[in-house]
């Protein structure tokens, strides 16, 4: 008489010896996985943001070259694309009724007139302001001409005021990642206004602009992520001389 074996077969023995994960083990595994992913995603996000900053800075360099080329070809800088009213936000410069000077003192970069891209890496139009002496069609600028736009790092944020220039013929800027005060290229509408004094200074419509180190919301100096570029009067005049457009 054969005894029936109650022992499992080798295959069944392997199955019988295996045990599943407990809920606690699964929870710990998920926690470790989320921690690992977070350490990977933060550097990736920072890399993406740095790429956008670099792309926008490169675009500002190209804009400066385009403005120089336009001045050499025409004898003056282009006017601004108005940000409100008829013909607003179309990238085409807007002139006054006499077509001798600009319809507005400040607006969007006239990207269509220049034949270049008009928005930064965050999808907002570049802000542009040019001194009237350099945009006047009736009285072209000369060797003695000088801009009146100031770019500075303010005393309120960083100690003593540093003035980078007070004779710039043109200033172009991106309102950065937060886009406060910019015109959205997709919506053609104004983004929320900035809250910090330094970013407000770049939207108040006067001749003084702020350029300084980027700082996050909550920083002692206030939030700031604008990227500011400007033309040099001396360099512009030198380019005109080299191209035999002056004197």
Over residues 132-143, the mean pLDDT reads 97
Mean pLDDT across the stretch 154-161?
Answer: 70
Mean pLDDT over 103-132 rounds to: 98
Count up the domains in the chain and report the number: 1
What's the domain range around 86? 23-242
Name the pLDDT band for 20 (thresholds 50, 70, 90). Answer: low
Q: pTM for the complete prediction?
A: 0.82
Residue 137: inside a domain: yes
Looking at the predicted structure, is the pLDDT value of residue 144 above 90? Answer: yes
Sequential DSSP letters for the chain: -PPPP-SPPHHHHHHHH--PPPHHHHHHHHHHHHHHHHHHHHHHHHHHHHHHHHHHHHHHHHHHHHHHHHHHHHSS---PBPSSSTTTTSS---B-TTSSSBSSSSEE--HHHHTS--B-TTSBBPEEEE-HHHH-SSS---TT----EEEEE-HHHHSS-EEEEEEESEEEEE-TTT-TTPBBTTT-SBPPPP-SHHHHTTTSSSSEEE----B-TT-TT--B--EEEE--HHHHHHHHHHTT---
Residue 47: predicted pLDDT: 81
Mean per-residue pLDDT for 88-93? 97
Residue 46 lies in a domain: yes
Which tens digits make up the pLDDT trace of 194-231?
999 999 999 999 999 999 999 999 898 899 999 999 99
On the 0-12 / 13-18 / 19+ scale of CB atoms within 10 A, 79 is buried
In the numeric block, the tokens 């172009």 are attached to 172
User: How does the average pLDDT of the chain come out, rounded?
Assistant: 88
**Per-residue pLDDT at 175:** 98
pLDDT of residue 24: 77
pLDDT at 17: 41
What's the pLDDT score for residue 35?
Answer: 75
Domain membership flag for residue 247 = no
* Residue 65, domain member (yes or no): yes
pLDDT at 3: 47
- Find the angle CA(219)-CA(225)-CA(229) to the nearest 5 degrees: 140
Establish if 90 belongs to a structural domain.
yes
pLDDT one-digit tens code per residue, 48-88: 899 999 999 999 999 999 999 999 999 999 999 999 998 99
Rounded to whole angstroms, how far apart are CA atoms 169 and 133?
8
């Amino acid at each position: 008489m054969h005894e029936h074996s109650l022992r499992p077969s080798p295959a069944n023995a392997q199955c019988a010896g295996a045990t599943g994960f407990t809920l606690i083990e699964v929870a710990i595994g998920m926690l470790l996985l989320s921690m690992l992913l977070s350490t990977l995603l933060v550097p990736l996000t920072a890399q993406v943001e740095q790429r956008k900053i670099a792309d926008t800075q490169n675009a500002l360099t190209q804009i400066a070259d385009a403005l120089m080329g336009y001045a050499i070809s025409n004898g003056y800088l282009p006017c601004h694309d108005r940000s409100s009213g008829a013909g607003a936000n179309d990238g085409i410069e807007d002139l006054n009724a006499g077509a001798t000077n600009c319809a507005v003192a400040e607006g969007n970069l006239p990207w269509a007139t220049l034949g270049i891209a008009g928005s930064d890496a965050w999808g907002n139009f570049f802000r542009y302001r040019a001194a009237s002496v350099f945009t006047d069609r009736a009285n072209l600028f000369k060797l003695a001409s000088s801009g009146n736009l100031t770019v500075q790092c303010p005393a309120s944020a960083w100690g003593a005021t540093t003035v980078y220039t007070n004779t710039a013929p043109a200033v172009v800027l991106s309102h950065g990642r937060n886009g406060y005060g910019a015109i959205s290229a997709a919506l053609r509408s104004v983004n929320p206004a900035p809250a910090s004094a330094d970013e407000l200074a770049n939207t108040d419509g006067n001749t003084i602009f702020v350029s300084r180190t980027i700082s996050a919301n909550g920083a002692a100096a206030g939030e700031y992520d604008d990227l500011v570029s400007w033309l040099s009067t001396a360099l512009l005049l030198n380019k005109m001389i080299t191209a035999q457009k002056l004197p």
